Amino acid sequence: MHRIIDCHGHYTTTPPGVAAWRDAQKAAVAADAAFVGEKGALAVTDDEIRESLESAQLAFQRERGSDLTIFSPRASWMAHHIGNEHTSRFWTEHQNELIRRVCDLYPDNFAPACQLPQSPGASIDGSVHELRRCIDEMGFIGCNVNPDPSGGFWTGPPLFDRYWWPLWEAMIELDVPAMIHVSAACNRSFHTTGSHYLGADTTAFMQALASGFMADFPGLRWIIPHGGGAVPYHWGRFTGMAADQGWDFDALLDHIWFDTCVYHQPGIDLLLDVVPTENVLFASEMVGAVRGVNPDTGRHYDDTRVYLDASSLDDDGRRLVFEENARKVFPRLELP
């Protein structure tokens, strides 16, 4: 048999002390864009953390039979467009330290991935610094990288730009992957979890495909979340464009994995049909964007294991998608 590793979970159910700290910081930067302030402390007890998880992520793990979730701070709350590099750093440090506490309380259930203190216009060095702190000092196994810290205006450098190279180099050195995951949209054209997330997933993939830059970074590994945005559904479009343009589609798949956060059976079936099984990682993103029950299954929309179980994946494929691919992508993952 195999374990079931969920590679995509965020701490979306944090105790009230987290929002309180952030709200105060947001109020301060709204009043003064150059506000720095102090890191201070989150008013969050271990009991509150337990309570916030026992009734949610842990209950779902038990109910759905998953073993371990790679757990990172709430993606929509990263909000790198708010404040400046100093406030982003304090906020990020708190969020990552909170994830560490979660994983210390439940080492069998969660493994930590960090957010980074990105900020529009800021050097990437602060993110590299926090990545090293999390991996080297705090035992994290991966990170989330926001490809659009502007929050939906896409005014920063694309992922193939040399701006990002120190981060890619550090990830390779530390042997950790990144999930390429945007945060909340502050552009009213976009709905955060509806259009911004999915558009960003497709955009990140396309930046890698058209630039070919990943070939220069052997060992660089990305997870494209939410089933890869629009990519698998348009697999023919992307492979066909690659053939037209001379882009090396197959080589890209040495670097990119797609998660299974697709919330209906036909979508999962398509994902498994077109994407090589070696490039698919089980994930649910619970508790996340969709919280209701799918009338087609009688289970939560984000109970993606139900779709995987009903798919045509054979035993070898299941082992890859549920466990082995994740162990390959996250070599620092230590299973209980």
Q: Could you say whether residue 253 binds a second copy (CB under 8 A)?
A: no
Residue 128 contacts residue 137 (beta carbons within 8 Å): no
> Nearest approach, Cβ of 10 to a second copy (angstroms)?
16
Question: Widest CA span of the chain, in angstroms?
Answer: 57
> Nearest approach, Cβ of 205 to a second copy (angstroms)?
8
Q: Could you say whether residue 151 binds a second copy (CB under 8 A)?
A: no
β-sheet bridge partners, residue 224? 258
> Nearest approach, Cβ of 191 to a second copy (angstroms)?
5
Shorter beta-carbon distance to a second copy: residue 97 or 148: 148
The residue written with tokens 């559904």 in the block is 233
> Which listed range, 14-22, 100-108, 164-172, 269-277, lies at the site for a second copy (CB under 8 A)?
269-277
Q: Could you say whether residue 154 binds a second copy (CB under 8 A)?
A: yes
Rounded CA separation 21/19 (Å): 5
Q: Could you say whether residue 244 binds a second copy (CB under 8 A)?
A: yes
**Which residues are CB-contacts of 40 (< 8 A; sequence separation ≥ 6)?**
21, 90
Burial group, residue 241, by CB count within 10 angstroms (0-12, 13-18, 19+): middle
Residue 42 contacts residue 98 (beta carbons within 8 Å): yes
Residue 135 phi, psi dihedral angles, 5° rounding: -75, -50
Which of 85, 97, 130, 285 is flagged as catalytic? 285
Rounded CA separation 90/78 (Å): 11
**Which residues are CB-contacts of 128 (< 8 A; sequence separation ≥ 6)?**
166, 167, 170
Shorter beta-carbon distance to a second copy: residue 117 or 158: 158
Q: How far is CA 325 from CA 66, 193, 258, 281, 333, in A?
A: 15, 26, 11, 6, 12
Q: Could you say whether residue 142 binds a second copy (CB under 8 A)?
A: no
Shorter beta-carbon distance to a second copy: residue 2 or 264: 264
> Nearest approach, Cβ of 16 to a second copy (angstroms)?
22
Judged by CB under 8 A, the residue of 51, 155, 163, 248 near a second copy is 155
Tokens of 239: 């492979």
> Nearest approach, Cβ of 182 to a second copy (angstroms)?
11
Q: Could you say whether residue 165 binds a second copy (CB under 8 A)?
A: no
Rounded CA separation 4/276 (Å): 19
> Nearest approach, Cβ of 212 to a second copy (angstroms)?
13
285 catalytic residue (yes or no): yes
Residue 5 contacts residue 334 (beta carbons within 8 Å): no
213: Cα within 13 Å, side-chain hemisphere:
17
Shorter beta-carbon distance to a second copy: residue 90 or 301: 301
> Which listed range, 75-83, 100-108, 149-157, 315-323, lies at the site for a second copy (CB under 8 A)?
149-157
Judged by CB under 8 A, the residue of 28, 36, 210, 253 near a second copy is 210
Q: Which residues are the active-site residues?
A: 285
Q: Which residues bind a second copy (CB under 8 A)?
A: 147-148, 152-156, 158, 187-191, 193-195, 198-199, 202-203, 205-207, 209-210, 226-227, 229-230, 232-241, 243-244, 262-267, 269-270, 273-274, 289-292, 294, 296, 301-302
